[in-house]
Amino acid sequence: MYDATLDRRTSGAPRAGRLWLQLLRKGVSAGVAALVLSAAAGAQMPGAPILQDAWATAGLVGAVNVGGGSGSVYAGAVSWTPGAGRFELSGGLGFQSRTGLSSHTVYGLRAAIPFGGASSTFGFAAFAGIGGGSGRRSTSADSAANTAEIPVGAAIGWRHALGASHGLSVFASPAFVFFTGGAKSGGLFRSGLGADFGITASLGVTAGVDLGGSRANAVGGPSGVLYGVGLSYAFGRR
């Protein structure tokens, strides 16, 4: 698609230079379309890693996701970002199973504010969310682990165009996560490490891990390293 603004900014550059910049922008757009666990499903659901990229894809993005490490999580999610890309809202709903606890439904909501430029190589963002679920211990009908997670953190990311229609983004999202409910409340420092890959301008895949402080499964976890992978689709013409 012809970009008159870009053409004016580079009118004094060689033709090859203008073409390279156009390809770079297309590749970057594909890269930020890959918002799966980081932008949509992470959202913040118990059992899923805290993966938040530093950019947001304008419009509506849907995702399907699988997570593990502290039981198994299967979820769907959506995220929405206005055209200016000034903030992102995401929510997810899934199903979690853990050893010693009955399987149950989990949910998550998250808001993020990116601070980098729409076409910048490096990006920064701040985010906060809430998620929860409940599950009774299989050994006692009277014992429950009802937990809410409230993460507050920041994200830093780097991205690179791979040809004219693909892009790669890698990011870290450290956060302080407060756990309330269940047998014990308290906070932990955790950090997500992930990568987004733009398969097309609308289709992307994300994979990552979440590690740091641990809690026992009996009081809501997480215990050790969490991991996740997902597939996302950005609706609308790209």
Lowest mean pLDDT among 34-43, 88-97, 165-174: 34-43
Q: Would you say 60 and 236 are in contact if contact means Cβ atoms under 8 Å apart?
A: yes
Reference 172, options 187, 154, 159; nearest CA is: 154
* 37, pLDDT greater than 60: no
28 — pLDDT class (breaks 50, 70, 90):
very low
Both tokens of 197, joined, read 């890959």
* CATH number of 4-234, picked from 3.40.50.2000, 1.20.1250.20, 1.20.1440.230, 2.40.160.20: 2.40.160.20
- Selected residue with higher pLDDT from 201 and 11: 201
CA distance 176 to 82: 27
Domain ranges of the chain: 4-234
Q: Residue 108's pLDDT is what?
A: 92
In percent, how much of the chain has pLDDT > 70? 71
Region of 224 on the Ramachandran plot (φ > 0 left; ψ -120 to 50 alpha; else beta): left
Secondary element (H or E) of residue 74: strand 72-81
